[in-house]
Amino acid sequence: AKEQGLWFHVDAAYGGALMFSEQHRAQLAGIEHADSVTFNPQKWLYVAKTCAMVLFRQFDVLQQHFRVLAPYMTDHEDWPNLGELTVQGTRHPDILKLWLSLQHLGQDSYNTMIEHNYRLTRLFTEAINVRPYLVLASEPQMNLVCFRSVPATISTEQQDTWNYQLQQFLLRQGCTFLSLPVYRGQRWLKAVLLNPFTTPDHIHRLFEQIDTYHEAANQPLSVDEVV
């Protein structure tokens, strides 16, 4: 980007928390060259919403291109008016929540929680790989896992409905919530292994429920049932 004179922005809204992980920090290699970085501590740093930011390498760029003058405010050349540099203007001291979290937990605790998420992700992925009727969208790089059910008895046209009904079945069991995003024209179940209180037992019970669904649902689905 620098050689071509381009602005180098890194969207680290979620993955930026890996800076606190000793083992996985290398995934952010090169971020130090960014002109700007998006980072949302309200995601993987467990800070209460709203806590999000855009970091700029050069403050002058932020002031020159994003400043909106307020004619009713006194202009001070000695220091910037931060209220002129954001969409909100006057706002709550959201950064205090991040500061308190960092003071209370510290880097070691965040490292421990992130590593715990990765262990659960590996366990979750292994549970998918040993079941021939489940497939991964891709090998997870963080703690997000996308997968879908593709049993041999269900046609390709019926798979979206099948996965939707699997999601609803899990909700009715009070087991867990999996979102259902569309990826490459297909519905996939998405798990976010984020909660620090999630245990391996929760994952084992989830897949027991998934097995129960596949064992009990023997009748082919009608394409007309697609929701």
Q: Which CATH architecture has domain 106-225?
A: Alpha-Beta Complex (3.90)
Return the pLDDT at 73.
Answer: 66
- Residues 123-155: tens digit of each pLDDT: 999 999 999 999 999 999 999 999 999 999 889
Return the pLDDT at 223.
Answer: 40
Tell me the DSSP string of 151-182: -TTS-GGGHHHHHHHHHHHHHHTTS---B--E
- Residues 149-204: tens digit of each pLDDT: 999 988 999 999 999 999 999 999 987 899 999 999 999 999 999 999 999 999 99
Average confidence (pLDDT) over 43-57: 92
What values do phi and psi take at 55, rounded to 5? -100, 135
Answer whether residue 29 shows pLDDT above 80. Answer: yes
Instruction: In the chain, list all ranges with CATH 3.90.1150.170.
Output: 106-225
Q: What is the CATH number of domain 9-99?
A: 3.40.640.10
For residues 225 and 192, which has the higher predicted lDDT (pLDDT)?
Answer: 192
Quick one: pLDDT band at residue 222, thresholds 50, 70, 90?
very low
- Residues 57-81: tens digit of each pLDDT: 988 887 777 777 767 666 666 677 7
Answer whether residue 40 shows pLDDT above 90. Answer: yes
Cα separation of the two ends of the chain: 44
Instruction: In the chain, list all ranges with CATH 3.40.640.10.
Output: 9-99
Return the pLDDT at 62.
Answer: 79
* Residue % of the chain over a pLDDT of 70: 89
- Specify whether the CB–CB gap between 103 and 10 falls below 8 A: no
Distance CA(34)–CA(20), nearest Å, equals 18
Query: Residue 104 to residues 34, 110, 194: CA-CA distances in angstroms?
Result: 29, 10, 19
